[in-house]
Structure 1
Amino acid sequence: MTDAVTRIGIVGTGVISGTYLDHLAKLPGVEVVAVADLDVARAQAIADQNPGIRALPPAELYAADDVDLVVNLTIPAAHASVHQAAMEAGKHVYGEKPLAVDRAEAEPLLKYAAANNLRVGCAPDTVLGTGTQTARVAIDRGDIGVPTAATASFVTPGHELWHPAPEFYYQPGGGPVLDMGPYYVTSLVTLLGPVRRVTARAGQSQQQRKIHTGPRAGETFAVGVPTHVTGVLEHESGALTSLLMSFDVWAARLPRIEVHGTEGSLSVPDPNGFDGTVEIATATQRDWTPLPVAGGYAGAGRGVGVADMARAIRNGEPHRADGALAYHVLDVLESVLEAAAQDQPVDVASTVERPAAVPLGASPDRA
C-alpha cells in the first residue's frame, strides 16, 4: 500500500466483476492490479481487456506483494473461505453480500480480522450514495418528526428470467432474503438504527425453476430456500418495519422503502441503486415533494465502499461499509428465516452503531 493508493486484487470474475472494474477505475485512491478465478480462462479474458491488470490463480493473488486488499466477488457459498484465505495471507478483504451464508461462518471472520489488525468490508455500498444518505439527513434533522414505522418491499418473478446460471440464487446464501435483503436492511439500519427482534412467515411457490436465457435455457433446477418471505423488524429505537421479499410476484406497485414519522413520511429510492429522488409528505404538505440532494457520494457506483474503506485504512479511521454492519444485517436476515421456520419471534443477538453519514460533496478519498 502506497501513501495514496490501495492496490486491489479481485477474486471472482463473473457478471458483477465488470461493474466493479468499471467503477473502481474511476475512483480515487484505489487501483486494481490483479484478478483471479477458478476458471483461469475467464480471469485471463478480464486481464486481456484491462491493460495493467494481470490474471493469477487465487492462491497467488492472496500472496502477491502488490495486493493490499482483496475484493471477493465469488458466489455466496465461497465468501467465507475466500475471505479467510485472503486474511491468512495478510490482506484486508471486502466482499459482495452477504458476508457469509450464515452467522456461524461470518463470526470467525470478524474475530480473525480483529486479532490480526485486518479490516473486513462488505457490500452493499449503495447506501453511501445520494439516495439513502439524503433520506438519512432528512430523518436526522427531524423533517418527519420521530420515525415510528417503515415499509420495505422487493418483489420479482425470479432471477432465472435474466441470469444464464441462476441456481445459486435459490440455494443457502441466496433466496430473496439473503440475495436482496442486504440492500434493504442495510438501508433500514442506516436510516433507523439496529434491529432487536423479528417475526416472519415464509413460503415457496415452486420446487423447480426453469432457466429462460443463455445456452442452458430450458433446463430446470431445484429450489432450496423460501422464495416469498414477509416479516416485521423491531428496531432498537422502537420503530417497526414491515418487510416483503419475494421471487414469486409477477408485477406489483409497491414502494421500495417508505419511512413514516410523527410529522410526516419519506419515500426512499431503490436501495439497490446509489441515487434517486427522496420525496417527503408532511402534516402540512400532504402532496409528495422532492427533496434536494443533501448527502452521499455523488455519481457513486459499485466499489465506492472499497474506496471509502481504502481511505479509512490509510488514515486509521473507521470505514462505513464494514464487517460489523454486514454481520448485523446477516444476523437480522437469518433471524427472519428462523422466525418463519419456527413460527415465533426471534431476538437478534447482535447490534451495531449506524455508520457515519456521508456529507454532501464528499469524495471517497477525503470523506
Structure 2
Amino acid sequence: MTETIALLGCGFVADLYLRSLQAMPGISVHSVHDRDMDRLSRFCAHWQLRAEPELGAFLGGLPKGCVVLNLTNPAAHYTLNKALLEAGHHVYCEKPLALDLGQAKELCALAAARGLLLASAPCSVLGEAAQTLGHALRSGTAGPPRAIYAELDDGFIPQAPYAKWHSESGAPWPHEDEFRTGCTLEHAGYYLTWLISWFGTVRKVVAASAEVLPDKAGLGGVAPDLSVATLFFENGPVTRLTCSIVASHGHGIRIFGDRGVLSCDASWDNAAKVRFAQRRALRRRLVENPFPRRIRLPQPTHPKVKRWGAAAMNFMLGPAEMLDALRENRPCRLSAEFALHLTEVTLAIQNAGEDAGAQVMTTRCAPMEPMPWAK
C-alpha cells in the first residue's frame, strides 16, 4: 500500500527530505508548492514530481487528511500551518512550529479541535542513536543519571564558505533566514527532542543568550548566535545545553551516571556510536575507562541514508511515524503536545537574553514511547 504526502516549500532542506524518501518504500509525493516558480520548477524537474503553482489549488487538490510537510521559511510557519489545518490536513512542520508561543498554542488547539495531527521537526529522536541512548538509560547501564552536558556548536559559521553551499536541486543555503531565525531555534531541538523523549516535562529553564557576532552577512542585529541553558526536568537530571555558531564544532552529549558516562558524539548522524565508559577507582585516582564499550541495539532498526553535507539523518522518519500512527489508529509519538513543549523550551532559551532568570514552563509533555525495535 502506497501512502501519500505533499510538500509545501522546496528550498534547501526539501532535498534532504526527498533524498531520505528514496530509502522509505511505500510513500509517494502527491504534489509540491512553492511561491518561487523557478525554484519549484527546478525542484520538481530534479525529483520528477508534480508542481502546483497556486497555493489555493495545492490546498484544495490534496487528498482528504493528507500529511503535508511544511518546509517553508520559519517566518511563514504559523500562517501556513494554520492554513493547512483549516484545510483539513495533517501537518509535519520544519522547526520551529511557530516563532511565538501564543501562536504555537493556537495551532495545537486548532489541530485538536479538527482531530488532526500536528508534529514538528526534528525527527532524529526516532533515530537509532537517540533510541539507543534511551534504551541504555531505561536499562540502567550507567546507573541513575545525575547530570547531562549537551553541545550543538557549529563552528564560526559567518566565516564559512556558505555561499557555495547548495542542495541537490540547486537551492542555496538560506543564510539570511538562518541568521535571522538564530541557531537556537534552528538547532536546539536536536537534543531537546531526545531529552524530552526520555524524561518528559522541563519544568524550569535558566538560560542566557546573546548575539556575539554582530552584522553577520551585512544583516545588522539579528537573532542570538550563542545560548547557554540549564534545564530542570520534573523527572530527570539537570542538563546543560549550549547552541552557537561561534564555538568550535561539537555535537556531543554526555550523560553522567552513578556507574559511568554514556556518550554520543554526533547528533546529526542516526547511526552515531553510543558508548559507555565505566568509572572505577585505580590506586588513588578515580578514572573513566579510556576504551569505552559500544552499545548497540539489535538490527535492523530503521532505513539509513548516506551522509550529505553535515548530516547523515533520515529526515522522513517523522512523516513516516505520522503515517504509521494514522494507519494503525494509535497516538503519534511526535504529538502536538510534544511539539508545543519543544517550542516553549526552545523559545525560552532563544529569548532569554541577559536578564530572563528562571523561566517556569507552562506546557507539559509525557516521555515518548520507544520505537518497537528499541524496547
Asked if these proteins are the same fold (TM beyond 0.5), I'd say yes
SS at match of 1:260: strand
1:237-294, Cα deviation, whole Å (9 max, x unpaired): 2411111111222x25x56111111222110242233221000012357232211235
Q: Which residue of 2 aligns with 1:239?
A: 237
Q: Which residue of 1 aligns with 2:97?
A: 99
SS at match of 1:266: strand
CA contact (8 A) 2:70 2:81 kept: yes
Q: Which residue of 2 aligns with 1:168?
A: 177
1:174-215, Cα deviation, whole Å (9 max, x unpaired): 2121111111211121233321111112222232013xxxxx
Q: Structure 2 counterpart of 1:182, which letter?
A: G
- Count of aligned positions: 346
Q: Which residue of 2 aligns with 1:136?
A: 134
Q: Which residue of 1 aligns with 2:294?
A: 290
SS at match of 2:198: helix
Q: Which residue of 1 aligns with 2:357?
A: 344
Residues 1:343 and 1:109: Cα distance change in structure 2 (over 3 Å): closer
Q: In the alignment, does 2:316 pair up with 1:303?
A: yes
SS at match of 1:355: coil
Q: Which residue of 2 aligns with 1:180?
A: 187
Q: Which residue of 2 aligns with 1:158?
A: 157
CA distance in 1, matches of 2:61, 2:111: 19
Q: Structure 1 counterpart of 2:185, which letter?
A: L
Q: Structure 2 counterpart of 1:12, which letter?
A: G
CA contact (8 A) 1:29 1:310 kept: no
1:202 pairs with 209, 216, 224, which one?
Answer: 209
Q: How far is the alpha carbon of 1:160 from its aligned partner?
A: 6.9
Q: Structure 2 counterpart of 1:193, which letter?
A: G
* Structure 1 runs not aligned, ≥5 long: 211-219, 363-367
Q: Which residue of 1 aligns with 2:85?
A: 87
* Structure 2 runs not aligned, ≥5 long: 164-172, 281-287, 306-313
CA distance in 2, matches of 1:297, 1:125: 13
What is the correspondence of 1:6-21 to structure 2 with a 5 Å cutoff?
6-21=3-18
1:141-172, Cα deviation, whole Å (9 max, x unpaired): 1111111110011222126732554111222x
CA distance in 1, matches of 2:47, 2:351: 44
CA contact (8 A) 1:195 1:234 kept: yes
Residues 1:237 and 1:159: Cα distance change in structure 2 (over 3 Å): farther
Q: How far is the alpha carbon of 1:19 from its aligned partner?
A: 1.3
CA distance in 2, matches of 1:343, 1:11: 35
- List structure 1 segments (4+ residues) > 6 angstroms apart after TM superposition: none
Q: Which residue of 2 aligns with 1:330?
A: 343
Q: Which residue of 1 aligns with 2:269?
A: 273
SS at match of 2:42: helix
1:66-120, Cα deviation, whole Å (9 max, x unpaired): 3612110001111111111111111111111111112111111110010011111
Q: In the alignment, does 2:42 pair up with 1:37?
A: no
CA distance in 2, matches of 1:23, 1:59: 28
Q: Structure 2 counterpart of 1:11, which letter?
A: L
Q: Which residue of 2 aligns with 1:216?
A: none
1:274-322, Cα deviation, whole Å (9 max, x unpaired): 2210000123572322112358524261111101111111221112223
CA distance in 2, matches of 1:302, 1:84: 23
CA distance in 1, matches of 2:345, 2:120: 15
CA distance in 2, matches of 1:65, 1:205: 45
1:22-58, Cα deviation, whole Å (9 max, x unpaired): 2224314421121100002211222222335333322
SS at match of 1:222: coil
CA distance in 1, matches of 2:363, 2:220: 33
Relative to structure 2, which stretch is displaced further, 101-110 or 152-161?
152-161
CA contact (8 A) 1:24 1:32 kept: no
Q: Structure 1 counterpart of 2:321, which letter?
A: D
CA contact (8 A) 1:131 1:269 kept: no
CA distance in 2, matches of 1:98, 1:292: 31
CA distance in 2, matches of 1:315, 1:179: 31
CA contact (8 A) 1:202 1:228 kept: yes
CA distance in 2, matches of 1:63, 1:6: 18
- Kindly, what percent of the aligned residue pairs are identical? 26
CA distance in 2, matches of 1:334, 1:255: 20
CA distance in 1, matches of 2:158, 2:23: 29
Relative to the length of structure 1, the TM-score reads 0.88
CA distance in 2, matches of 1:323, 1:229: 25
Relative to structure 2, which stretch is displaced further, 80-89 or 319-328?
319-328
SS at match of 1:352: coil
Q: Which residue of 1 aligns with 2:259?
A: 263
